[in-house]
Structure 1
Amino acid sequence: MKRLPLRTTFAVAAAATALVAAGVPTTAAVPATPAALAGPDISVTNTAAHLDQLQAIATANGGNRATGRPGYLASVNWVKSKLDAAGYTTTVQQFSTSSGTSYNLVAEWPAGDANHVVMTGGHLDSVSAGPGINDNGTGSAGILETALAWAASGQVPRNRVKFAFWGAEEQGLLGSKNYMANLPTAEKDKIELYLNFDMIGSPNPGYFVYDDNAAGNGARDDLTSYFDSVGVPWEYIDVQGRSDHAAFRTYGIPTAGTYTGAEEYKTAAQAQKWGGTANAPFDPCYHASCDTRANVNTTALDRNIDAIGHMVWSYAQKTYGTTLPPTGENLVKNPSFESGAVSWTGTSGAITTNTGRPARTGTWKAWLGGNGRTTTENITQSVAIPASATTAALSFWVRIDTAESGSTVYDTTKVQVVSGTTTSTLGTYSNANATGNYVQKTLDVSSYKGKTVSVKFLTNEDASLQTSFVVDDVSLTTG
């Protein structure tokens, strides 16, 4: 969180000594929690591991992750690699600052109505004085783990879900301001809500909710209701222009967020309500070299990341006049491969115009196998199947040519659906099914309604005599 130029600051080293001497508890005194509202339990163990990685990046790069320094770019690249692996479409926006080049990283889940966007973000940069683990490694790590949990959940969002990691916030919200300034008006109008999380693991924590309840924005109240439901007392706070939500609020976009405190002092009444130490800063290491991995209250972090999860899960499904795919529309992108490997992942070169085997339509197809040696090849695409569907069917055309003879199975192609950590094989085709011409196959995928799944064609060929499996014109339609 950036420091306002006119705001009173504190002697952080002395405050830190006082806080340690006072014996700050690792768990604030908060009443026992009743059952939470709908939403996931975001893993604090995984989130803490992300903080360990951000600390390691800072340690390896001069002790900080500040804009213009190598530790910041290393942070961006590491977060991007995690999101790419989870199936997000990531975009890195580069911009210049007085301290050098900085970057915004935005990750978009490839499902949901793109006309209604729910965006969650926080800044990834630190100040130059230290590694910035509470400010704002905690928000970044919590947002990252929520994004990974969303990807693993297999849910199909009603709205388009995006996660942002801003650069140069510490220099005056430069990253988020740059993003919004360069975003076309039509795209700004699609953002229904921006959620911001900046400093959510302060060592002497409070539980603050941004007091930003513009007309039509119930997100602030949903956050306070969530904290009520889990027995965590809260207070409103006006963070003014101190964090990246301000760049969105400027354009009239509803915002909300949580905060556990920075250089402000905790009052006696707040200490009675939340535990911790009165008359000491919420974060005595704010903007200092001691903002390390040890400067994080795990309980506060855990409560706030669950709040992030609750909000993302809730608003991903909120009705904003959302338009769902019409019945009968093909949910597979680039179904006939005529755009090459666009929207598909898997074995390089499997999607081809090689004339050794013809496409069923057009000139492109997926040619799996045909090597005459031990190989494994695949093509995969993520597809969101709406919960509103009554039926769902996966269809494709396959041509099987083989040099094998007889009915013994040597080479196979499996059609699989991957949902979360579970892989199911819906159909298996082999050299014994060779016909030398295209045959259409249709498989029922109705059991995956309401989930985002990966459709996978997986070919295994043995050590001798080729079998070619040529796939074309793939469709997944609902009824």
Structure 2
Amino acid sequence: MRSLRTTALSAVAATAVTASMLAGTGSPAVAAPSPDLSTTNVTAHLQQLQSIATANGGNRATGRPGYKASLDWVKAKLDAAGYTTQVQTFSTSSGTSYNLVADWPGGDPEHVVMTGAHLDSVSSGPGINDNGTGSAAVLEAALAWASSGNTSRNHLRFAWWGAEEQGLLGSNHYMRNLPTADKDRIDLYMNYDMVGSPNPGYFVYDDNAVGNFARDAMTAYYTSKGIPWEYIDVQGRSDHASFRTYGIATTGMYSGGETTKTTAQAQKWGGTAGRAFDPCYHRSCDTISNVDTTALGRNLDMIGHMVWLYADKDFGTTTPPTTPPTGSNLLANPGFESGATSWTGTSGPITSNSGRPARTGTWKAWLGGNGSTSSENIAQAVTIPATATAASLSYWIRTDTAESGSTAYDTLRVQVVSGGTATTLKTFSNVGTNATYTQFSHSLLAYKGKTVTVRFLMNEDSSLQTSFVLDDTAVTTS
């Protein structure tokens, strides 16, 4: 958690939730079944984060190799589970940092439920409680959902933020660059920052009136398990604040940091009065031994409960039909204005970098331009309806190069991958480049009734640069 401790813990304590507290909130409370998530698994995740820190100078801080190694490890787990992942890159005073955003396929895209935690530590220690516990718990909830076989009413998105310890830089970057329409689609953001403190408390965020329905569902869960809780006003001290600023409902849980547990709190929760909730907060001793596994297990199940609950919350509309209307674009985020959302492949080509213009908006896919041996690709899976009488892939592309002559040193292949076989529809190269956006179209009717992957694959040699810039892609049918 960010080290801005200007607010005292709220003393609004309660050990039960009355019916009147929930009345009129529309909260589904504890009606949905709660998953029993694996504390063994989440402890193994923490061991991995500890090993990464140990191998990288004892920390996982922004700008240090341990942070990127942590992100790469989490991403690999999510990719293997079937998530569509996006890595966002941004600059900080300590060097480059990254956000990792993972979307589970399906659910109503007009109603997004997000769950997140910051992945970075401070430079003075490995950050296993702060915030390995929140990161590992959110990861385990995401993996458990992927293996559950459940279908959600709403679209589920999970996030691991960079540079929280420097002032919420990662979550601020995400929200600042998210188009307004996509901000409006987020119905709830849940934040978990320190959920296994060694002298734990159970604090529920209470600083966003529009998020009261989720706050009340969280307190109702704790009460149903016989776990006393307290409200806390965390204000701008963790990543939920980046969402709250835009009027999005938020809630979260916190097990306590450097402030001291009172006698009344020790009587309620156990532990040691007069001692900090986390005596190793922002210190080198915040290691794997600095975690209370009972609190971690309780909060892990609570996080799973909240994900399962709001996966099926009715926010006002039904899930769109599985067969898109005739003429609609089957590609999600076709103009890249939501960054790499819904696209897989190499991290980095989808960008708002002004070095090459977008055709519309500010984002595009800029493949190549490296002037060195490299291979990049972006891809997205689509299903061509079996009833289609026409189907086509279209896109706009501009190219420029520093190469000369008639040898194709650098190429971009437009491909369709079906059943493990890649078919190249068109190849662009450094020969005959065109710095004016031009539209191309290819028939996909041969793939009706199949799920295929549309892929743009770039290969560049070690000499001069060639840039292939794509925008406004579409797969349409009739």
TM over 0.5: yes
CA gap 1:362/1:47 in 2 versus in 1, 3 angstroms:
same
CA gap 1:225/1:365 in 2 versus in 1, 3 angstroms:
same
> Does residue 286 of structure 2 align to residue 286 of structure 1?
no
Does the 8 A contact of 1:198 with 1:258 survive in 2? yes
Matches within 5 A, 1:101-180: 101-180=96-175
Give the partner amino acid of 2:147: A
Does the 8 A contact of 1:37 with 1:226 survive in 2? no
Task: Measure how far apart 1:7 and its partner are.
Answer: 6.9
Q: Give, in whole Å, the separation in 2 of the partners of 1:144 and 1:345.
A: 30
Q: Give, in whole Å, the separation in 2 of the partners of 1:42 and 1:155.
A: 15
Cα deviations by residue, 1:273-317 (Å, 9 ceiling, x for unpaired): 111100000000000000000100011001111111111111111
> What TM-score do the two structures reach when normalised by structure 1?
0.66
Q: Give, in whole Å, the separation in 1 of the partners of 2:444 and 2:195.
A: 53
Matches within 5 A, 1:268-417: 268-326=263-321, 333-335=382-384, 347=420, 349=421, 362=443, 396=449
Q: Give, in whole Å, the separation in 1 of the partners of 2:170 and 2:95.
A: 13
Q: Give, in whole Å, the separation in 1 of the partners of 2:217 and 2:255.
A: 18
Aligned length: 340
Does the 8 A contact of 1:213 with 1:220 survive in 2? no
Residue 40 of structure 2: aligned partner: 45
Does the 8 A contact of 1:67 with 1:100 survive in 2? yes
- Computed over aligned residues only, the root mean square deviation of the Cα atoms, in angstroms, reads 2.9
* Structure with larger Rg: 1
* Match among 252, 255, 258 for residue 253 of structure 2: 258
CA gap 1:323/1:263 in 2 versus in 1, 3 angstroms:
same
Q: For structure 2, list consecutive stretches of 5 or more residues without a partner in the other structure.
A: 9-14, 17-29, 331-380, 386-390, 394-413, 427-441, 453-478
Q: Give, in whole Å, the separation in 2 of the partners of 1:245 and 1:328.
A: 35
Give the partner amino acid of 1:106: V
Residue 3 of structure 2: aligned partner: 3
Give the partner amino acid of 2:302: A
Residue 389 of structure 1: aligned partner: none
Task: Measure how far apart 1:321 and its partner are.
Answer: 1.9
SS at match of 2:110: strand
Residue 91 of structure 1: aligned partner: 86
Task: Measure how far apart 1:211 and its partner are.
Answer: 1.1
Give the partner amino acid of 1:277: T
- Runs of 4+ in structure 1 off by over 4 angstroms are 5-8, 327-332, 336-342, 350-354, 361-366
CA gap 1:292/1:346 in 2 versus in 1, 3 angstroms:
farther
Cα deviations by residue, 1:373-405 (Å, 9 ceiling, x for unpaired): xxxxxxxxxxxxxxxxxxxxxx959xxxxxxxx
CA gap 1:346/1:149 in 2 versus in 1, 3 angstroms:
farther
Cα deviations by residue, 1:211-232 (Å, 9 ceiling, x for unpaired): 1351464000000000011111
Q: Give, in whole Å, the separation in 1 of the partners of 2:226 and 2:32.
A: 11
Q: Give, in whole Å, the separation in 2 of the partners of 1:91 and 1:345.
A: 23
CA gap 1:177/1:233 in 2 versus in 1, 3 angstroms:
same
Task: Measure how far apart 1:333 and its partner are.
Answer: 2.4
> What TM-score do the two structures reach when normalised by structure 2?
0.66
Does the 8 A contact of 1:353 with 1:364 survive in 2? no
Residue 219 of structure 2: aligned partner: 224
Q: Give, in whole Å, the separation in 1 of the partners of 2:220 and 2:5.
A: 34
* Match among 180, 187, 202 for residue 192 of structure 1: 187
Bigger mean CA offset, 65-74 vs 35-44: 35-44
Give the partner amino acid of 1:231: G
Q: Give, in whole Å, the separation in 2 of the partners of 1:234 and 1:133.
A: 23
SS at match of 1:85: helix
Give the partner amino acid of 1:228: T
Task: Measure how far apart 1:68 and its partner are.
Answer: 0.2
SS at match of 2:383: coil
CA gap 1:134/1:320 in 2 versus in 1, 3 angstroms:
same
Report the identity percentage: 67
Residue 58 of structure 2: aligned partner: 63
Does the 8 A contact of 1:36 with 1:230 survive in 2? no
Task: Measure how far apart 1:112 and its partner are.
Answer: 0.6
Give the partner amino acid of 2:76: S
SS at match of 1:293: coil
Q: For structure 1, list consecutive stretches of 5 or more residues without a partner in the other structure.
A: 9-29, 355-360, 367-394, 398-453, 456-479
Q: Give, in whole Å, the separation in 2 of the partners of 1:178 and 1:345.
A: 36
SS at match of 2:303: helix
Does the 8 A contact of 1:121 with 1:196 survive in 2? yes
Q: Give, in whole Å, the separation in 1 of the partners of 2:5 and 2:205.
A: 20
Give the partner amino acid of 1:133: I
